[in-house]
Amino acid sequence: MTTRKEFLRQAIALAGLSFTGMSFLSREEQEMQVFPAFDLHAHPGNFFMKGTDTYPGDEGVSKTISDMQSGHVSGVFLSMVMDRPLLKRTDTGIVPTGMFSKGEGWKEYKRQLATLSHLFSINSLSPARQVKDLTRAVEKNRTAGFLSCEGGDFLESADQLDEVYADGIRSIQLVHYAPNPLGDLQTHETQHDGLSPLGKEVVRKMNSLGMVIDVAHASYKTVQDVASLTQAPIILSHSILKMEADRPIGARAISPEHAKLIAETGGLIGAWPSGFNKSFEEYVENILRLVDVVGIDHVGIGTDMDSNFKPVLDSYQQIPALASALSSKGLSKEEVSKIMLGNTERVLRSVLKG
């Protein structure tokens, strides 16, 4: 009988299939309609929320990562929260308390990076820097962990990105909740009229290095500037289309025009299962709304696990149910496969070096 590893190698050798098809699954998995997935944005176990050199609980981190494998999550962007020391949680949301002084952001970046190595040492995550690492993770039934940063607050010069890239970071979300030197946010008053001069240098440098640019949390004007400047596909790792104005955390939702900016670069939007959605079922419908606006090739999944606001998908064990729900709505296997993994794999092949 053909082993999973042999079957995968045969399938990948077929022109044009790559991860975007279902051929690399075993026969049993195909019959069960198991769809490998990629999460564009996650914080397993909320691993940096306390702002210390230890995790809130290794047990929680390990549980989430174990769920990745049982949920067939083959890849994930593990996101360090760069402006974490600058944020305060309140009853009405997250409030920024200031900006880093010179050198403070870089120190925080290095602290979190050092702590992140612990996550790999105690779990079955495979460190990932290239698409071939994702391929290898699927072969071994593991999860490829790509490193990312939520917020470019730690950058004072685009030249620092050479070291950041060498550290293994493969994606940077330019802005988060604290105002920073790179660009304007969705949830804060305008400071730069879009991307700042430094932000433009960072975009160019990330393109040249082969890093994924993430415009989650960025204002419409900032996204316009990035889209007009980038030479590679970009992502918006976790958001959803606007609905009623009084929806919870509605300021983080995006307009159809906003979404189309990302699609026009060849990129994709990670559908966000936050409490903006009233239920898991509505989240599925909102994914389909996003597909209707930008097309099937430009939608992925961005869970924000385990740092989401009242999530309607709060465990990776729900990922198979999500794929099944999309299938039940009339999407073909190929279309579901694109949303779960294929579209992200395509973007990574286009952007990452090697």
How large is the angle between the packed helices 220-229 and 197-209, nearest 10 degrees? 50
CA-to-CA separations, 195 to 120, 169, 183, 208, in angstroms, rounded: 34, 21, 4, 18
Q: Please give the pLDDT value at position 60.
A: 58
CA distance 138 to 136: 5
Residue 175: partners with Cβ closer than 8 Å, 6 or more residues away: 151, 152, 182, 183, 184, 185, 217, 218, 222
CA distance 307 to 61: 12
Quote the tokens at residue 275.
Answer: 């409490």
Place of tokens 């010069």: 157
CA-to-CA separations, 67 to 124, 129, 143, 292, in angstroms, rounded: 11, 22, 10, 30
Count of CA atoms in the C-beta half-sphere (13 A) of 217 = 25
Q: How far is CA 65 from the centre of its chain?
A: 16
Quote the tokens at residue 331.
Answer: 């999407």
Q: Are 323 and 32 in contact (CB under 8 A)?
A: no
- Which residue segments constitute the domains of the chain, with CATH numbers given? 35-351 (3.20.20.140)
CA distance 274 to 249: 9
Cβ neighbours, 10 Å, residue 27? 10
Can you give 11-42 as a three-state secondary structure string?
HHCCCCCCCCCCCCCCHHHHHHCCCCEEEEEE
Cβ neighbours, 10 Å, residue 31? 9
Quote the tokens at residue 94.
Answer: 């997250």
Q: Please give the pLDDT value at position 106.
A: 98
- Reported for 57-65, long-range contacts at CB under 8 A and 24+ positions apart, including other chains, are 58/122, 60/306, 61/119, 61/122, 61/123, 62/122, 62/123, 64/305, 64/306, 64/316, 65/119, 65/123, 65/124, 65/125, 65/143
Residue 293: partners with Cβ closer than 8 Å, 6 or more residues away: 241, 256, 259, 260
Place of tokens 């919870």: 248
Tens digit of pLDDT at every position of the chain (354 positions): 333 344 344 333 332 334 444 444 444 444 456 799 999 999 987 764 444 444 444 555 778 888 998 899 999 999 999 999 999 988 777 889 999 999 999 999 999 998 887 777 777 788 899 999 998 888 887 899 999 999 999 999 999 999 999 999 999 999 999 999 999 999 999 999 999 999 999 999 999 999 999 999 999 999 999 999 999 999 999 999 999 999 999 999 999 999 999 999 999 999 999 999 999 999 999 999 999 999 999 999 999 999 999 999 999 999 999 999 999 999 999 999 999 999 999 999 999 987
Where are the strands (E) in the chain, listed by range?
37-42, 73-81, 87-90, 93-96, 125-128, 143-150, 169-173, 212-214, 235-239, 268-271, 299-301
Say which DSSP state 352 is in.
Answer: S
Q: Is the peptide bond before 306 cis (omega within 30 degrees of 0)?
A: yes
Q: How far is CA 231 from the centre of its chain?
A: 20
CA distance 273 to 159: 35
Q: Please give the pLDDT value at position 53.
A: 42
Quote the tokens at residue 109.
Answer: 């970046």
Ordered DSSP codes for 87-111: EEEETTEEEE---PPTTHHHHHHHH
Question: Looking at the whole model, is its pTM more than 0.85?
Answer: yes
